[in-house]
Amino acid sequence: MGANNGKQYGSEGKGSSSISSDVSSSTDHTPTQAQKNVATSEDSDLSMRTLSTPSPALICPPNLPGFQNGRGSSTSSSSVTGETVAMVHSPPPTRLTHPLIRLASRPPKEQASIERLPDHAMVQIFSFLPTNQLCRCARVCRRWYNLAWDPRLWRTIRLTGETVNVDRALKVLTRRLCQDTPNVCLMLETVSVSGCRRLTDRGLYTIAQCCPELRRLEVSGCYNISNEAVFDVVSLCPNLEHLDVSGCSKVTCISLTREASIKLSPLHGKQISIRYLDMTDCFVLEDEGLHTIAAHCTQLTHLYLRRCVRLTDEGLRYLMIYCASIKELSVSDCRFVSDFGLREIAKLESRLRYLSIAHCGRVTDVGIRYVAKYCGKLRYLNARGCEGITDHGVEYLAKNCAKLKSLDIGKCPLVSDTGLECLALNCFNLKRLSLKSCESITGQGLQIVAANCFDLQMLNVQDCEVSVEALRFVKRHCKRCVIEHTNPAFF
């Protein structure tokens, strides 16, 4: 014990020698008085050492045997360091004047209310936080760190921001999630980094290598990624069903890598399990690329090709050969798509529920008749800006697609009240109707629609010559309808 105490007090040797010299020089004092002076000097030295202690935690370590429940013990321990030696032997209460020493004798503070919640409740709360906030919670304390990295919270990674170093963030996150299952994140199913413009092929390669169970990938607006990175993801993530590469201008195709194609068995058919594909604003996509996509992604049900301006009717022909299960299709602003393309689309028959051909200027009543004749279960049609559509096309559509719920024929100047009357008398379930900039529409046509389509919820008559009385009539009969108009007299 003496040897240990010698080590502990080694740093205080200079103070001990000064005390000894003071005692030897004070010859005019009695031995009893000298002992009192030595005690006073030791108290002074105790105060000085306490002031140099860096934190209350070092003064009263939680695992120190000499302290229990914040109160000092009268026994000493050889494991106490030089900084905490002043607290080994508890001084009298009247001598504890320093605020840090007082803190050691106070009862522990009451826990915060959130700390009383059980782990499962905390995990439920954390499940509503985005990825960046979840990472911040992990820095609060040890308990929150363990809860924030619960695998159940990491089925989705969602990052946003143009300045975020996404490649590094994905590398760090996947490395942490791979601790329990080396090199693979078995729980991760969704990665959304839309709008993160600093994402490169390196980040996608990290996802492809570490996330074999990935089902959903959203990289919209990440224009630095290329075909090769996308090929890696679809080849190494066989369960991928949802892929959004809209705005990725370098992506021209979706296919397997050559290595993956060689390894696949003939029974696999070299196919990709993607069902939802959004390639909006992939300007360099051509018919040959769409042919490759269709040949590999035969299970497609939702396909969006808005503003893929190089596509033609030939590309749609390839699409219909391989992808017979498409329910939603958009070729808006594909200016080379014509009635022949709609004839190909009509081969989807009753499976097609959603079709957008907005601003396809080559489409006329002939194409609409093809779609209306074979796609009787169509629910949504956007034909805005197709100036070749007339009342005849609308009439044929209304009679054959009676379950139509949403129709946009804005900027179709040849559609008049006659077409609206046929629509109102056949499509009673109509909920949304856009007639924006239809110059031939009058209040009479709107009144017929309002009198028959009671479930109408949205009506767009902007830039139409419609009277206030007609708008009020619509409002009386379709009470839940929101009317978008440009008539300042109606409010």
Please report, for the chain, the start and end positions of each structural domain, with discontinuous segments joined by +: 116-153, 155-292+303-309, 338-490
Fold of 338-490: 3.80.10
Token duo for residue 205: 């390669």
> What is the maximum span of the chain, computed from C-alpha positions, in angstroms?
127
Please state the separation of Cα 270 from the chain's center in Å. 30
CA atoms within 13 A on the CB side of 123: 11
Query: What are the beta bridge partners of residue 380?
Result: 354, 406
- Chain Cα centroid distance, residue 251: 22
Q: What does the buried/exposed string (b/e) look like for 475-491 if buried means 16 or more CB atoms within 10 Å of the residue's CB? A: eebbeebebebebeebe
Tokens representing 435 are 């007639």
Angle at 148 between CA 187 and CA 154, to 5 degrees: 20
**DSSP category for residue 80:** -
Distance CA 158, CA 358 (A): 32
CATH code 3.30.160 for 155-292+303-309: no
Lookup: tokens for 214: 């990935």
Tell me which residue has tokens 């909006």: 280
What are the structure tokens assigned to 333, written together? 């602003």
The Cα 429–Cα 445 span in angstroms is 17
Residue 9: the pLDDT is 35
Question: Which parts of the chain have pLDDT scores under 70?
Answer: 1-112, 260-270, 491
Q: Compute the distance between CA of residue 148 and CA of residue 128 in angstroms, rounded to an integer.
A: 12
Query: DSSP class of residue 459?
Result: E
Q: 116-153 in CATH: which number?
A: 1.20.1280.50
User: Matching CATH topology for 155-292+303-309 and 338-490?
Assistant: yes
H-only helix segments in 269-411: 287-296, 313-322, 339-345, 365-374, 391-400
For 262, other C-beta atoms within 10 Å of its C-beta total 9
| Three-state DSSP state, 329 | strand
Q: Residue 385: helix, strand or coil by DSSP? A: coil
